[in-house]
Amino acid sequence: MASGSTARPLSESEFDRLFEECRYTAFRLETLQVYDVGYEEEAFRRFLNDGGSVTNSAHEEWVRLVSGDRRFRRVHVVTEPLTDYVRFESVWAYRANVKAGEDVNILPVTEGSWPEGIPHTDYWLFDSHQLVLMSYDLDGRMLTPELVTDPDQVVEANVVRDRALHASIPFSKYQKRFDDDMRPL
């Protein structure tokens, strides 16, 4: 699922609108072990310093969104041992997201391996027909998302979604292997 001439860049407002306008489902495939998200900076720093967590308006808005009538699902392919960022994301975001109604699944792999049939590509799939490829720089900062209009790529994203969901486990089950700070038991 590589971007090409059948993809167009989305502005921030266009991308945000897809979350509000999707009618039934939104699916997220995450493949990075570190994301550099500005609104998480303070919370991540605090987590690293003392294991504490703080909420912010961006995360509160996300929890509101996923607690609505639409179904939000995600699969995060995580490399074990977990990075500090994935530990933080699990403690700070995933636990609250699951409580609010988001289906968060984890597909764990050992360092140096990758699940067959799952690309190293992040994306959002809205209502199974609007595909947005998510590109990141080497530090995990999001570049411009791209709306894909090629039907074959959209179908492939649906296949990958189903494959990833089948191979993954619910976060609520996965986290039982770890302590409160997501360190192995």
Say which CATH number the domain at 122 has: 3.30.870.10
Number of domains into which the chain is organized: 1
- Please indicate, yes or no, if residue 21 is contained in any of the structural domains: yes
Q: What share of the chain is helix, strand, coil (3-state, %, to 5)?
A: 40, 25, 35
pTM above 0.85, yes or no: yes
- Please indicate, yes or no, if residue 185 is contained in any of the structural domains: no
- Please indicate, yes or no, if residue 55 is contained in any of the structural domains: yes
- Please indicate, yes or no, if residue 182 is contained in any of the structural domains: no
- Please indicate, yes or no, if residue 126 is contained in any of the structural domains: yes
- Please indicate, yes or no, if residue 38 is contained in any of the structural domains: yes
Query: Strand 103-110 relative to strand 146-148: parallel, antiparallel, unpaired?
Result: unpaired
Query: Rounded to an integer, what distance in angstroms lies between the CA atom of residue 116 and that of residue 94?
Result: 25
Query: Strand 103-110 relative to strand 71-80: parallel, antiparallel, unpaired?
Result: parallel
Closest CA to 25 of 128, 132, 174: 128
- Please indicate, yes or no, if residue 184 is contained in any of the structural domains: no
Confidence grade of residue 6 (pLDDT, cut at 50, 70, 90):
confident
Least confident of 57-61, 84-88, 127-131, 181-185: 57-61
Contact between 184 and 42 under an 8 Å Cβ cutoff? The reply is: no
- The residue segments making up the domain with residue 127 are 7-177
**What are the tens digits of pLDDT across the range 112-167?**
999 999 999 999 999 999 999 999 999 999 999 999 999 999 999 999 999 999 99
- Please indicate, yes or no, if residue 30 is contained in any of the structural domains: yes
Query: Rounded to an integer, what distance in angstroms lies between the CA atom of residue 35 and that of residue 138?
Result: 10
